[in-house]
A = this chain, B = another copy of it.
Amino acid sequence: MRIRNAFYAQSGGVTAVINASACGVIETARANKDKIGKVYAGRNGIVGALAEDLIDTGKDTAKSIASLRYAPSGAFGSCRFKLKGLEENRLQYERLVEVFKAHNIGYFFYNGGGDSADTCLKISQLANKMGYPVQAIHIPKTVDNDLPVTDCCPGFGSVAKYVAVSVREASFDVASMAQTSTRVFVMEVMGRHAGWIAAAGGLASDKNCELPIVILFPEIPFSKEKFLAKVDAMVQQYGYCSVVVSEGVRGEDGKFLSDQGLRDAFGHTQLGGVAPVIANMIKDALGYKFHWAVADYLQRAARHIASRTDVEQAYALGKAAVQLALKGENAVMPAIVRLADKPYQWSIEVAPLQKVANVEKTMPRNFITKDGFGISEKCRGYMLPLIMGEDYPPYKDGLPQYVRLKNVAVPKKLADFEI
């Protein structure tokens, strides 16, 4: 087997554990130096490959690479850059293959969501056609947990843990204040199309720690009347309640609830979140004092409260990707298979990219309670294993120590390319 180099890139929104996958890729490649030469990373994702801006991960020590396991964000930079269709922009795909050829890259590891699975598949196909075969392996990553085939996506377990922990903590807080002050706490979470992250808020309440939580899923059209009745019932029963709202909630008219045409005093449009909309709606209709939070990046970057299960799966999938490549696989993705809920057991299977690319997995209706405002026991059984275990990063002077790699550039060999 001829030694060829590998290329690894991070794509789309980053997570608390995408670097754990990078760690799995690089450590496994380093353990197979007889087959894989260098591991190059794309600076700022696939854009780095197009620009021939490659990072030589070999310049970083084993210790630094091992520390990737604990660092949130994308260590090599990520990008929001969707390659156009093959027919539309064949030049970009050809450029990628040229760059791979120039740097003796025979393995392409792409760490991202549904879009990047599609890109990965196209690159595999085109490279083949162009007579420079590249084994393209996709490594799943997305906080949204919306990829098909795989039982869950690395990144999701940690954001779910963050949301469950935060909703529990904030619910304790509002419970303390409710008699004379705040009655309702509203927390906005990510999930434009799928309610997996919002659902995690439901885990905050369990039989040992019952809490009144109302969830707004993007899968359920928002009914103001039913929602207000639910909140009011909760406050009447418990004295307070917490609302977890997905950023992607839409009204019965199909419009995002966050899109309220907010204007400032000068008539300028303001981009606000959905949490203040919901909070103000409750105040106006029910008169309850509220507090609201928008977690935004905090939720997906919260490596300090990452799920150990998630970290382990992220690493294992990175490792598996390299092992699959070494076995000669192409246009595939290692995926998590659930063997048992309790105790949780999982393994890794191989999924063809055709089944993954551009398919979005939303919450099954039976994961949501009949009234549309909570999670079912089925959902809890699915989700609980994913937030299991803590995996604290090292601290110094009170702060988590997140590695920054050297990110040394590989000398360019090709002419510039306009992206």
- Contact call B181/A79, Cβ cutoff below 8 A: yes
- CB neighbours of A297 from chain B (8 A): 169-170, 173-174, 185, 291, 293
Residue A67 lies at the interface, judged by CB distance under 8 Å to chain B: no
- Contact call B179/A399, Cβ cutoff below 8 A: no
* Cα distance A81–B181 in the bound complex, in angstroms: 9
- CB neighbours of A264 from chain B (8 A): 260-262, 277, 280
Residue A166 lies at the interface, judged by CB distance under 8 Å to chain B: yes
CB-contacts of A228-267 with B (<8 A): 260-265
Residue A395 lies at the interface, judged by CB distance under 8 Å to chain B: yes
Q: Which of A323-331, A371-379, A383-391 contacts B (4 or more CB under 8 A)?
A: A383-391
- CB neighbours of A295 from chain B (8 A): 293, 298
- Contact call A397/B305, Cβ cutoff below 8 A: no
Q: Which of A55-63, A268-276, A362-370 contacts B (4 or more CB under 8 A)?
A: A268-276
Residue A294 lies at the interface, judged by CB distance under 8 Å to chain B: yes
- Contact call B71/A172, Cβ cutoff below 8 A: yes
Residue A10 lies at the interface, judged by CB distance under 8 Å to chain B: yes
- Scoring A residues 17 to 55 as 1 if CB is less than 8 Å from chain B, else 0, what string do you get? 000000000000000000000000000110100000000
- Contact call A296/B293, Cβ cutoff below 8 A: yes
- CB neighbours of A261 from chain B (8 A): 264-265
- Who on chain B is nearest to A290 by CB? B271
Residue A177 lies at the interface, judged by CB distance under 8 Å to chain B: yes
* Cα distance A283–B273 in the bound complex, in angstroms: 16
Residue A180 lies at the interface, judged by CB distance under 8 Å to chain B: yes
Q: What are 25 inter-chain pairs, A to B, with CB distance below 8 A?
A: A14-B176, A14-B177, A44-B180, A73-B175, A75-B176, A78-B177, A80-B181, A166-B301, A166-B302, A169-B297, A169-B303, A169-B400, A187-B298, A203-B399, A206-B397, A208-B401, A209-B402, A263-B263, A268-B284, A270-B277, A271-B283, A273-B276, A291-B296, A388-B397, A388-B398
